[in-house]
Amino acid sequence: MIKISLKVASLCASVFLLASEARADVKLPALLSNHAVLQKSDHTRIWGRAAAGEKVTVSLGAAQAQAVAGGDGKWQVSLDVSRLGAGPFELVVQGANRLVVTDIMVGEIWVCSGQSNMAFGLARAGEAAAEIPQSANPQLRQFRVANVGTEFPADDCKGAWIVARPDTAKEFGAVGYFFGQRLQRSIKQPVGLILAAWAGTSAISWLPPAAFADSPEWQGKQASVKKRVDDYPLLKEKYLPAYRQWEIQYQRNDHPADPALYAAQGLPLDGWKSVTLPATLRAAGLPDAGAVWFRKTFVVPPGTLENAMIQLGAVRDFNALYLNGKKYDETTVESMKGGFDVRYALPKTALHEGENTVAVRLFTPSEKAAMPSTLFVGVGTSRILLNGPWLAKVEFELPTLTDAARKALPVIPPNPGTHSVPGRIYNGMIHPLLPATIQGVLWYQGEQDSGQPATYWKMFEALIRGWRAGWGYEFPFYSCQLPNYGAKADQPENSLWAQLREAQAQALTLPKTGQAVLIDLGEEDVHPIYKKEVGERLARLALARTYQQTVVDSGPIFKTMQSEAGRVRLTFSHTDGGLVAKPLPAQYQPTSMSPTLKPLVRHSPDGELEGFALCGADKKWVWATAKIAGDAVVVWSPAVPKPVAVRYAWAQNPTCNLYNGAGLPAAPFQVKSGSDSER
């Protein structure tokens, strides 16, 4: 036996470690993985890590370049792939080891970012059932960046490339998919989509660190949100015992019965009450507090049962979900996260084709119990609306909440989430992409910021400038203006959503920007399910402005205003094919999930155009009559003999119908007499 001293063994280990570090494996980021698309250019960047000082050789087809890793282990090369075909190619990286990345295409890269309507999956889109089966296209690919917010700028992200085909297309973001599909078919080049979007996020979360350095106001907000995030665990820790003490002191505790008495299949339904949901329980003739069960049978059509989910509405109380007699999920005082998540993902075994029964136990310890939002089941590409008749049965009722109990009720601490700290999403999801050569960015966001239109344009401009500075060049940046949303107003309104749209449009003063107007593609739901036209309007911008194709890329944009004897004459740019008053239906469908039609109220029945309003010096807005007169629109109202300002489509969900001959809608605007503006 040979004995080695601890000192010698330690020395040998150190030498081995140094040797290993000197020959550390060369590594590539997640974005440079199998099935990737690289931007077609003469300076396409490839990057990664290796041992400090290590020589790295990179080749793709006939293109080759070399680099030496810096002291931090980072290396980067630029490849001239401008003369290469589409592929596929192998990306070969040689350092201390040899990496081969397969099925690489050379084409056009677009980053698709924003919040929920950009993240909205193709599987949920209204076009899904028709589109997914015919989605096979090896030249259309997507990389989805994992939703991660970080305190400091990250060098890499999690994600993988997928190729469009029927078994993968459901994972594409719907807007990006339809943009990429239209673009790819038009330019005959591979298109890679980098989806970096996160639902419910503010633009300030996507700002780079430099933006905060220049703004004390944003630094203050950053510190404020960070404090709320840091304080949340302690607040939650204090809330739980406080709540438990409250429910015992005021006898508001839950005492559930055997769920089989209410959720089991084949139950006799004597004593169950017919109710219509969504509704408050009081309106449905049910207790305002206590435990109430709801049941409904629905039919799942033949087809895939993957990616099933159920949305029960904005239930603010504790609830438990049962399907076909089995409990699948619940929200309790312990599991809640500063709010109540009622969007439950389901395993594949939860449902079966044909009849299924959903049962929901709603426990309300305080008051004002409700199931107030759209209820539906999502199965594959199908959406099964659950709104309408349900059966309900009271398990037990709690007495009316006393004033003392109401005042003593602990407040549920809101959980902002670490990602909500301004700048953290940029650090975790955008910074890792900066080495990549891209063609441009698509942006669909603003819903979360609709309450702060006065400052949004500053954030939006800082975001565009900051991203371009990070990438190191002025790429095209095409955005979506907020669509129509919510209930229609009877009278002219000073809508925050209208103001936010105006703030979004202010960013168009920056070079290489464009905006897809969606004022006719929304509905009363904040997530309109039809996304094809959204993607195609963005594609029009790219085809016309980036790829120099002859494509109409915009509807009418306000240009000038002149007052003429009590009337206002408006002219517009982007009137390709002339100004058009699109016919309006007598009824409209509030949401794609609701089959009920509502009458469309006309505010200018004597005019061919809807959506125009005037005001005089008194600043009182009234609906106005508007007609197309050649290449202009003339607007007037007997109630405003001397108009000083005009608005068009200035509402959260306006009724408006001015288009150009290419079928694109006019952008909303407001303007004072004597003004002119052209974008």
Q: Tokens 């942006």 sit at which residue? A: 443
What is the average per-residue pLDDT within 140-158?
A: 96
Q: How does residue 315 score in pLDDT terms, banded at 50, 70 and 90?
A: low
Model pLDDT for residues 468-481, shown as the tens digit of each residue: 999 999 999 999 99
Most confident by average pLDDT, 383-397, 446-460, 665-679: 446-460
Kindly report which listed range (37-46, 120-129, 331-340, 554-563) carries the lowest average pLDDT score: 331-340
User: pLDDT at residue 546 above 90?
Assistant: yes
- Helices within 23-133 (DSSP H only): 116-119, 128-131
Cα–Cα distances (Å) from 664 to 333, 391, 482, 538, 667, in that order, read: 49, 45, 15, 12, 9
Q: How far apart are CA 365 and CA 573, in angstroms?
A: 58
**Domain boundaries 251-401, corresponding CATH code:** 2.60.120.260
649: which 2 tokens? Answer: 């489509």
pLDDT (0 to 100) of residue 459? 95
User: What's CA 412's distance to the chain center, in Å?
Assistant: 26
Instruction: Delimit the domains of the chain by residue range.
Output: 107-206+423-553, 251-401, 557-672
Determine if residue 234 is left, alpha or beta; phi over 0 gives left, psi from -120 to 50 gives alpha, anything else beta. Answer: alpha
**pLDDT, mean over the chain:** 90
Q: Which residues have a Cβ under 8 Å from the Cβ of 241 and sit 6 or more positions away?
A: none
Kindly report which listed range (17-21, 425-429, 629-633) carries the lowest average pLDDT score: 17-21
Q: Which residue has the higher pLDDT, 412 or 66?
A: 66
297: which 2 tokens? Answer: 């049978």
How many Cβ atoms sit within 10 Å of the Cβ of residue 227? 12
Model pLDDT for residues 182-208, shown as the tens digit of each residue: 999 999 999 999 999 999 899 999 999
Kindly report which listed range (3-17, 309-323, 361-375) carries the lowest average pLDDT score: 3-17
User: pLDDT at residue 340 above 50?
Assistant: no
Q: How does residue 675 score in pLDDT terms, banded at 50, 70 and 90?
A: low
pLDDT (0 to 100) of residue 413? 84
User: Which value, in Å, is the radius of gyration of the alpha carbons in the chain?
Assistant: 29
Kindly report which listed range (10-24, 415-429, 525-539, 637-651) carries the lowest average pLDDT score: 10-24
Nearest Cα to Cα of residue 382 among 117, 173, 127: 127
What is the average per-residue pLDDT within 257-282?
A: 92
pLDDT (0 to 100) of residue 221? 92
What's the whole-model pTM score? 0.89
Verify cis geometry, omega within 30 degrees of 0, for the bond prior to 278: yes
Model pLDDT for residues 506-531, shown as the tens digit of each residue: 999 999 999 999 999 999 888 899 99
User: pLDDT at residue 21 above 70?
Assistant: no
User: pLDDT at residue 139 above 60?
Assistant: yes
H or E, element range at 19: helix 6-22
Q: How far apart are the first and last CA of the chain?
A: 86
pLDDT (0 to 100) of residue 526? 87
Q: How far apart are CA 49 and CA 66, in angstroms?
A: 13
What is the average per-residue pLDDT within 168-180?
A: 96
Question: Could you give the percent of the chain with pLDDT greater than 90?
Answer: 75
pLDDT (0 to 100) of residue 1? 37
What is the average per-residue pLDDT within 433-451?
A: 97
Contact between 423 and 222 under an 8 Å Cβ cutoff? The reply is yes
User: pLDDT at residue 246 above 70?
Assistant: yes
How many Cβ atoms sit within 10 Å of the Cβ of residue 589? 14
Q: What is the dihedral of CA 309, 315, 321, 323, to 10 degrees?
A: -60
Model pLDDT for residues 316-327, shown as the tens digit of each residue: 678 898 999 999
Q: Would strands 74-79 and 44-49 be described as parallel, antiparallel, or unpaired?
A: antiparallel
Nearest Cα to Cα of residue 319 among 345, 291, 348: 291
pLDDT (0 to 100) of residue 19? 39
Contact between 527 and 120 under an 8 Å Cβ cutoff? The reply is yes
Nearest Cα to Cα of residue 526 among 482, 490, 588: 482
How many Cβ atoms sit within 10 Å of the Cβ of residue 171? 17
Contact between 444 and 115 under an 8 Å Cβ cutoff? The reply is yes
Q: How far apart are CA 118 and CA 534, in angstroms?
A: 10
H or E, element range at 464: helix 453-471
**Domain boundaries 107-206+423-553, corresponding CATH code:** 3.40.50.1110
Q: Which residues have a Cβ under 8 Å from the Cβ of 472 and sit 6 or more positions away?
A: none
Q: Which amino acid is at 426?
A: Y
Q: Which residue has the higher pLDDT, 447 or 411?
A: 447
pLDDT (0 to 100) of residue 319? 87
Say what angle helices 532-541 and 174-187 make with each other, to 10 degrees.
Answer: 50
92: which 2 tokens? Answer: 């070969």
Q: Which residue has the higher pLDDT, 346 or 159?
A: 159
